[in-house]
Amino acid sequence: MYKQIIENLKKELDKVVDFFKKEMQQVRSGSASPVLVEDIVVDCFGSKLPLKQLASISCPEPRQILIQPWTNEYVGAIEKALMQSDLGTSPIADGHSIRINLPPLTGEFRDKLIKQISQKAEESYQTLRRWRDETWKEVQDKFNQKLISEDDKFRAKDELQKVIDEYHKKIEELKERKEKEIQE
């Protein structure tokens, strides 16, 4: 019975790692990527939509993002949303498209990004701990209801910690990879 509890936990922890991975893709490194802007929320005609639903996004050069709205009516709203984002640069609109030229990363901006990454990693670690605590409580409840033995309770505790350590390591590896990318 405790093995099923652990399997259910793994599904939730996979979601935590996937979410962290997506967040790391959205943190700027040395080169441009559509992922940096595609989820920026644009207030367009009273609706809030992610940029990827309003325009095509490409990277014609290593440090440039080109945004081509589906209609010219979106240009102003997209430009405004980009200016409010934390990209560290200003968009250039020409009426039909918007270009974002990413400057080389300064030492100060790199430090800010690394701090941001550490903060996001810590939030993920907290989520892992919360899942661990909830799962341990569930195991103890099953023990108290006499649905699992004391031996299984302690096996579950050991296995639970191994699983949490494994997922903690996955997040740590993603964090370190992104930090290295930023330092290059």
Report the distance separating Cα 72 and Cα 113, nearest Å. Answer: 33
Taking the C-alpha atoms of residue 163 and residue 122, their distance in angstroms, rounded to an integer, is 18
Check if CATH label 1.10.1420.10 holds for domain 34-101: no
What pTM, to 2 d.p., does this model score? 0.74
Tokens of 55: 């325009």
- Nearest one of 172, 177, 179 to 125, comparing CA atoms: 172
Q: How far apart are CA 21 and CA 31, in angstroms?
A: 18
DSSP-derived secondary structure letter, 56? E
What is the torsion angle, in degrees rounded to the nearest 10, for the CA atoms of residue 47, residue 53, residue 59 and residue 65?
A: 0
Instruction: Identify residue 5 by its one-letter amino acid code.
Output: I
For residue 117, the model assigns a pLDDT of 92
Helices marked H in 26-149? 75-84, 107-144
Phi, psi (rounded to 5 degrees) for 70: -65, -30
Nearest to 88 by CA among 70, 68, 63: 63
pLDDT of the residue at 180: 87
Q: What is the DSSP string of 149-163?
A: -HHHHHHHHHHHHHH
Q: What ranges do the domains of the chain cover?
A: 2-25+106-183, 34-101
Mean pLDDT by 10 residues, the chain (184 residues): 89 94 79 83 87 91 89 88 80 88 81 90 96 94 92 93 96 92 80
CA 37 to chain CA centroid, nearest Å: 13
Q: Does domain 2-25+106-183 have CATH number 1.10.287.610?
A: no
